[in-house]
């Protein structure tokens, strides 16, 4: 189970960075201190935190880091997502029901911390990723759904749930006017960071490589991992083998292909997103949208929208158009084709739902697919792989990797460089990968 070649063309990858298909050296090293598999936000953030932790600790010998990527940099889920970091306030009730109030609170606080951690590193490293701190609206379009999220909001507010100090509520009277969505029955708003994920990851990777401690090898798929007699690992690739004592798998939906114990625990699923544009010569320019959105047509029918600074819109979703045909999306890791029932779903979406867009002439400029990793308990697997020494995993984000990966990577990097326990990482305990979770 490897990423396939010739993946569909994502809008985020339309402006390629010079590192996109880079080889730091002509040949693979035969040995290295740390191997990271995957160059999405999880893998590159791990490398970034490793080099900074090493520098901070003032180690005399700088460990060598090798980043291996099956295709191009950030060509997986991170380069194909919605491009924003937020916690859906309308999902908190479900988190409490599934995982308890304490865990739900930890998850909400962790997502909030990730928003501001990514914002800080963008500012610190002077990364040009079109990042904007915005408000994001969850907007129900049915009265029944509006009643449910209104009741949950009121209950969480009364209960003093941690995230609620950031959440705003808009009733039906002003919901359409404030959100610009026709038929809005209510709205919840929360902070969100909108950004260009590919630009963020590639420029962060550029900072990593500038330290001289890291080696990037793209178009180098890992085909197998073998344990050596001394407890280390041989990482087998199409270009040769590399030995390492420390291995980080930031492989999300592809994880089970290298770690069989995650089979049926992290499952690849295929999703769809699009880029909608307005003709520059349109006679009726639409209003600029400065917020991001989740439009709730029904509790299990949700689209996400991320307006871009240039007036274009990234929209993802439409799952219900193909959900009944599981063979099209469930346990699927091929993102080289579109999901046919959703191919034209995004056409006219802005005209159907947004005030002032009716005569805009907005068209679907591109549609693409991507592979996410979903887990049996809807929580990611972070930390040391059970029963191993020196093997770590960051995977299974259930479509929410942007909301968690940066600080999850910090936790794993500190486990490697500082030898701290998982409890000391700041990552919610419920996200720790354990044998109990693997056993189901």
235, pLDDT greater than 90: yes
68, pLDDT greater than 90: yes
Pick the CATH number of 11-79+198-265+377-439 from 3.50.50.60, 3.40.50.720, 3.40.630.30, 3.30.2090.10: 3.50.50.60
Q: Which residues contact 241 (CB under 8 A, 6 or more apart)?
A: 28, 30, 234, 235
Q: What is the pLDDT of residues 302-313, one digit of tens each?
A: 999 999 999 999
- Summarize the confidence of residues 227-235 as an average pLDDT: 91
Q: Report d(CA 431, CA 408) in Å as an integer.
A: 9
% residues pLDDT > 90 (the chain)? 84
122, pLDDT greater than 70: yes
107, pLDDT greater than 60: yes
The band of 340, judged by pLDDT with boundaries at 50, 70 and 90, is very high
The three-state secondary structure class of 54 is helix
Contact 41, 67 (CB under 8 A): no
Residue 397 has phi, psi (to 5 degrees) of: -90, 0
- Summarize the confidence of residues 280-289 as an average pLDDT: 89
Domain boundaries, the chain: 11-79+198-265+377-439, 135-191+268-375
pLDDT value of residue 390: 94
pLDDT value of residue 274: 97
pLDDT value of residue 57: 64
pLDDT value of residue 87: 77
- Summarize the confidence of residues 393-397 as an average pLDDT: 97
- Could you tell me the two tokens for 269? 């699923």
Contact 7, 220 (CB under 8 A): no
- Summarize the confidence of residues 245-265 as an average pLDDT: 96
89, pLDDT greater than 90: no
pLDDT value of residue 80: 96
% residues pLDDT > 70 (the chain)? 98
Q: Are strands 381-384 and 391-395 parallel, antiparallel or unpaired?
A: antiparallel
Return the HEC string of 226-278: EECCCCCEEEEECCEEEEECEEEECCHHHHHHCCHHHCCCEEEEEEEEEEEEC
218, pLDDT greater than 90: yes
- Could you tell me the two tokens for 190? 């929360």
In the sheet that holds 222-227, the strands lie side by side as 222-227, 233-237, 240-244
- Summarize the confidence of residues 155-179 as an average pLDDT: 90
The CATH classification number of 135-191+268-375 equals 3.30.9.10
Q: The whole model's pTM is what?
A: 0.95
Contact 407, 117 (CB under 8 A): yes
Distances, alpha carbon 148 to alpha carbons 105, 143, 239, in Å: 20, 9, 54
Mean pLDDT (the chain, rounded): 94
Q: At CA 199, angle to CA 198 and CA 201, rounded to 5?
A: 65
Q: Report d(CA 413, CA 108) in Å as an integer.
A: 22
CA 292 to chain CA centroid, Å, is: 16
Q: Which of 151-165, 199-213, 364-378 has the lowest mean pLDDT?
A: 151-165
Residue 152 has phi, psi (to 5 degrees) of: -65, -40
33, pLDDT greater than 60: yes
Number of separate helices (H) and strands (E) present in the chain: 9, 18
Contact 261, 105 (CB under 8 A): no
pLDDT value of residue 388: 93
Across the strands, what pairs with 80?
A: none
- Could you tell me the two tokens for 255? 């994880």
How many CB atoms are closer than 10 A to CB 94?
A: 14
pLDDT value of residue 60: 56
Q: Where are the beta strands (DSSP E) in 33-83?
A: 34-37, 65-68
59, pLDDT greater than 80: no
Quick one: 241 exposed, middle or buried, by C-beta within 10 A (0-12, 13-18, 19+)?
middle
58, pLDDT greater than 80: no
256, pLDDT greater than 70: yes
């Amino acid at each position: 189970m490897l990423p396939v070649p010739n993946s569909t063309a994502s809008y985020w990858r339309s402006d390629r960075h010079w590192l996109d298909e880079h080889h730091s050296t002509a040949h693979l090293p035969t040995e290295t201190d740390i191997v990271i598999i995957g160059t999405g936000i999880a893998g590159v953030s791990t490398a970034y935190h490793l080099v900074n932790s090493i520098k901070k600790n003032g180690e005399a010998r700088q460990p060598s880091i090798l980043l291996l990527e099956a295709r191009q940099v950030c060509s997986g889920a991170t380069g194909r997502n919605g491009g924003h970091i937020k916690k859906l306030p309308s999902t908190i009730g479900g988190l409490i029901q599934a995982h308890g109030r304490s865990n739900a609170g930890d998850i909400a606080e962790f997502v909030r911390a990730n928003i501001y951690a990514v914002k800080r590193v963008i500012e610190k490293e002077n990364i040009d990723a079109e990042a904007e701190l915005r408000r994001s609206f969850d907007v129900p379009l049915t009265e029944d759904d509006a009643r449910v999220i209104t009741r949950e909001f009121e209950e969480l507010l009364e209960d003093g749930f941690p995230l609620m100090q950031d959440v705003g509520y808009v009733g039906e009277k002003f919901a359409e006017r404030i959100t610009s969505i026709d038929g809005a029955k209510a709205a919840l708003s929360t902070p969100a960071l909108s950004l260009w994920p590919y630009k963020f990851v590639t420029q962060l990777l550029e900072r990593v490589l500038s330290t001289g401690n890291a080696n990037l090898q793209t178009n180098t798929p890992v085909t197998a991992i073998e344990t050596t007699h001394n407890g280390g690992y041989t990482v087998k690739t199409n270009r040769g083998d590399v030995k390492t004592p420390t291995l980080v798998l930031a492989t999300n939906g592809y994880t089970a292909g290298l770690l069989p114990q995650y089979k049926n625990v992290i499952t690849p699923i295929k999703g769809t997103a699009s880029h909608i544009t307005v003709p520059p010569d349109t006679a009726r320019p639409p209003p600029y949208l400065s917020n991001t959105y989740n439009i709730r047509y029904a509790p299990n029918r949700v689209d996400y929208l991320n307006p871009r600074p240039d007036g274009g819109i990234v929209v993802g979703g439409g799952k219900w158009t193909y959900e009944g045909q599981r063979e099209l999306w469930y346990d699927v890791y091929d993102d080289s084709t579109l999901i046919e029932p959703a191919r034209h779903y995004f056409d006219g979406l802005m005209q159907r739902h947004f005030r002032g867009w009716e005569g805009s002439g907005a068209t679907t400029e591109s549609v693409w697919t991507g592979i996410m990793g979903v887990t049996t308990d809807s929580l990611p697997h972070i930390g040391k792989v059970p029963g191993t020494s020196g093997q770590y995993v960051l995977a299974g984000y259930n479509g929410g990797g942007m909301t968690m990966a940066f600080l999850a990577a910090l936790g794993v990097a500190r486990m490697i460089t500082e030898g701290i326990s998982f409890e000391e990482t700041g990552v919610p305990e419920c996200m720790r990968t354990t044998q109990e979770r693997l056993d189901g």
